[in-house]
Amino acid sequence: MFCWSGVGPGSRERDIPDKYTAFAPFYDALSGEYPVYRAGRDRGIEALGPRPGEQVLDLGCGTGLNFPLLQELIGPAGMIVGIDRSARMLEQCRRRAARAGWRNVILIEADAVLLHPAAIRTAVEEQGGSPESDAALATYAMSLMPEWRRAWANLKALVRAEARVAVVDMKDPEGWARLLTPLARAACALGGADITAHPWQAVEEDCTHVIRFSARAGHLQIRAGALHKDPFWPLPAPGSVREIT
């Protein structure tokens, strides 16, 4: 099973120029994924801890860079629901799924800020998925959204009450790497991200058993937690934020 649909007002491209639509075919090569940002995805998905057979929502899924890691954990019995507002990014995502032979992917073209959760739930169910996902993540996506808290509210409306959630995003580097702050800010501005948005704060505010990591001298921030108490959720290690390399 592989499905792709547009739902509601979020399925229309915004009027402003969309860099991610224009550069969709080249995004994977130009995004700095392997030298920098893959570390955040790896640790964010590890902290999220998807289980075999679960359905995972990937909000702002882009070209599907999270999908290989998710597939390893949920297996063919699980399901990935990818939502993105760019049709061209989703086309790259579809091609990735087709090359890999994944039949457990549902792609929905919708704006994370403007979407109607009820319409999305209906569309997912009509395409063979569950109306509420077991887990959800947003990697380097919410800092692109000026109204990212609305996107967070929509994410919460698309998962079950006990869902596990993770947010991976960016901030200014710390320590010796502060010298690289102008470079980091320029890279984020080029991609349209607000490096000062700090959307992982939503996990800190709304979740229990929060797991905290940082990477690349604090430039990457990873948070994961449970929206409600989950007896299977591991307690975080002592300390505030643990740096990974």
More confident residue, 38 or 34: 38
Tens-place pLDDT, residues 198-221: 999 999 999 999 999 998 777 899
Alpha helices per DSSP H over the chain: 19-22, 27-30, 38-48, 67-74, 87-100, 117-126, 148-157, 181-191, 201-206
Which of 151, 184, 180 has its CA nearest to residue 167? 151
Asked whether the predicted pLDDT for residue 34 surpasses 70, the reply is no
pTM above 0.85, yes or no: no
pLDDT of 165 > 50? The answer is yes
Q: Which pLDDT does position 180 carry in this prediction?
A: 60
- Assess contact for 50 and 70: CB atoms under 8 A: yes
> Is 50 exceeded by the pLDDT of residue 31?
no
Which three-class secondary structure state does DSSP give residue 145? coil
Torsion of CA 174, 178, 180, 185, to 10 degrees: 80
